[in-house]
Structure 1
Amino acid sequence: MRIQRIVTLLLAGVCAAMVEPGCFSNRQTKAEEEALARWEGVRTGMALQLAQQQFHNGQLDRARQTLLGAIETQSNDARLYLLLAKVMFELQDLPTAQAHLKQAGHLAPDLAEVDYLQGVFAQSTSQWAQAHQAYLAAYQKDPSSQSYLCALAEAKLALGQHQQAAELLSSRFEDFPSSAHLHIAAASSFLAVEDFDRAEQLYQQAIDINPSNAEAQEGLANTFYLAGKYSQASELLAKLIRKEPAEHPGLQRRLADCYLAAGQYSLAIRAYQACLA
């Protein structure tokens, strides 16, 4: 029995000696692979950050080279292809931009920004139906994005879906209560369907949010004019023109039109003459 126990112990020791080096080797290989993967991730992140800086600084060729270099070692990162698509679009190479965007979508099918960029690319060639479809997909994937919401509304306006655009935007005011831009976009939509009261209300709300927003003030003045409120329109237009006369040649013409429509002919003549100066 003692001999059998000794033999058993010896066999166990031999097996342990045979197995242990292999286990250690496997653990070492796995650790090396994990370390390498972490390093590749860090290096990709650094390259992406550098390319983003180059892109925002207008160094498009450098950004392209940085991204292509990163893709050589990390070809499965959708972020690289997404930014490269933006770079190529700015370089006015739309086919290449679309190819890189397609690859980004293949790697990350749930990434809403891919759909959004598809909409931007389609819009750049006035393909509004395709742009609408892409913006809708982006918005459905990420309803929290105000950019996707406004892009979808803009596409609806371009397709003549004014009422739908107005309803879509106004349905999200509670989610973006401090967004003057959203109120302006909604006001423009209601103005397109000649709902002057609603447009006036929304432009005024945008001004309440941001009193210095010139776009909202111009929109309100235009709404006054189209609604036949010439006195209010001319008062607001004159105020805007006094602030920066050289910046508002179109407003000067609209002011003259207001005076003419209101029967204030001497003021209209003076305003038209100012347009020619």
Structure 2
Amino acid sequence: MTINPNIVSLIDRCERLWAAEAEVARTYWDSPIRTVETDRLWLLRQMYKELLDGALPSLHWARDNFDGIAGPDSRSEFLEEIDVLREEFIHYKGFAEVFEALAGTTPDAAALRDLGAWPENDRLQALRAQHRRDHGALGLRAQRFTEGGYCTLYSEGMKLAAREGVDGMIARACAVVFNDEFGHMLRGIAHLDDAVGGLSSAEWAQLGELVEQQLSHRIVMRNAQFSNPVAPDRLTAIQNGACEPLSFDYQRAFGQTPSRA
């Protein structure tokens, strides 16, 4: 079974934007702006994303859909969502442990709502919500496809493994998250792959636009999370494709590489 060429084209549109988000994290690790305070801030914000953007929606979904559990499909869907909830909480726990090493204690969930939120992330969530409202299932597919940003924060964090102290802790936390987030991304692709026969050429084009918009804003969100280590001119350049593409791992995702004309 060959990989649908529309999916390949969509991934091609993402590779430079994924590379841009990776550049943000990579730049921060050795940036002169990096301090204990900026480390606390990005970790706090990542805890927010894992717990309140990640685990909490799955918890709400499970609560809202509990009474509908019946046949095999609903049981499988419910179990999948519970797995996501568990994974997202484990991710939160990992970053919370790094935060505690720097700050001594962590805020409770109620305090995290205020302390961990930041405008650029709010705007990303608002953009995704708008896409879901305006484009229905297509907007939801775009969100699932862009969640995790091809795991770039975690893959770049894992590269700190040779360092000691907090950097080594960051690397270990990112290693725990990486495989789970890659799996989440694959689920987004699987949902898309299930629907390829029903998407028109216009819908594929629209999906690509939505995905690019979300990934472009992820770059801004991530740079703000890390206290803006990438300067404005460079940020604009990498949003517009100045990075070398970050090659997608087709073998891991599909067990094969695409055939290109």
Same-fold status (TM-score > 0.5):
no
Q: TM-score range by the shorter chain?
A: under 0.3
**TM-score, scaled to structure 1:** 0.22
| Larger Rg over CA atoms | 1
Q: What TM-score results when the alignment is normalised by the length of structure 2?
A: 0.23
